[in-house]
Amino acid sequence: MNHITKNTFKVFLILLSFKSIAQEDVSLLKTVCIERFTRFIDWPEKPNRSSYNLVYLGDYDDPIKQVLEKNFKFMLVKNNKVVVVHCKHVSDLKNKEIDILFISNTFSDKLVEILSYTANKPILTIGDKDNFGTKGVLINFFIQQNKLKFEINEPAVKKSGLNVSFHLYKLARVIK
């Protein structure tokens, strides 16, 4: 695990502690959190890696899609650029190399199919709907008392082959 500075950890805590989140800022806050998550996660080594692939599965006009595309142009994951790809059908996932998969809440009826594809693979799945975490998504956002929070599905993480730092678990609601 790369060395994580105390300042990085403090900034992450501050981001998650906003008392009131304006709807238009939620997408940006989630995007920043996703980047911060990657600092606490190690993927299996890939030879000649030059980028990480973040796939957004959802509607074209979802505000978070545009925010992910806009902001990840300037963000790095493990000192590599991030390529953001949009998929609007679950079947599109089968032809993609995926490191991070953001699953829109509009795909709740397809979650079993999505997770059957990502299960036991080093793909960081991130959800955006209540109960996605309990159903097998590795990290899931939720709002509680006007605060953005997240949960981690520990058994799903173990099966994925990703190495998640205990620092991230300390900030999350952990699903056993």
CA distance 137 to 126: 6
Per cent of the chain over pLDDT 70 is 86
Q: How many CB atoms lie within 10 A of CB 127?
A: 29
Is the Cβ–Cβ distance between 160 and 174 less than 8 Å?
no
Per-residue model confidence as pLDDT tens digits over 137-163: 999 999 888 888 999 999 999 999 999
Handedness of CA 152, 158, 161, 166 (dihedral sign): positive
Per-residue model confidence as pLDDT tens digits over 74-120: 999 999 999 999 999 999 998 899 999 999 999 999 999 999 999 99
Average pLDDT, the chain: 89
pLDDT band at 19 (very low <50, low <70, confident <90, very high): very low
Output the pLDDT for position 1.
45
The angle formed by the CA atoms of residues 28, 34 and 36, to the nearest 5 degrees, is 105
In this model, does residue 11 exceed pLDDT 90?
Answer: no
Output the pLDDT for position 58.
94
The CATH homologous superfamily for domain 6-175 is Response regulator (3.40.50.2300)
In this model, does residue 23 exceed pLDDT 60?
Answer: no
Q: Picking from 6-20, 39-53, 160-174, which range would have the lowest pLDDT averaged per residue?
A: 6-20
In this model, does residue 16 exceed pLDDT 60?
Answer: no
- Report the predicted TM-score, pTM, of the whole model to 2 decimal places: 0.87
Instruction: Name the more confident of 17 and 110.
Output: 110
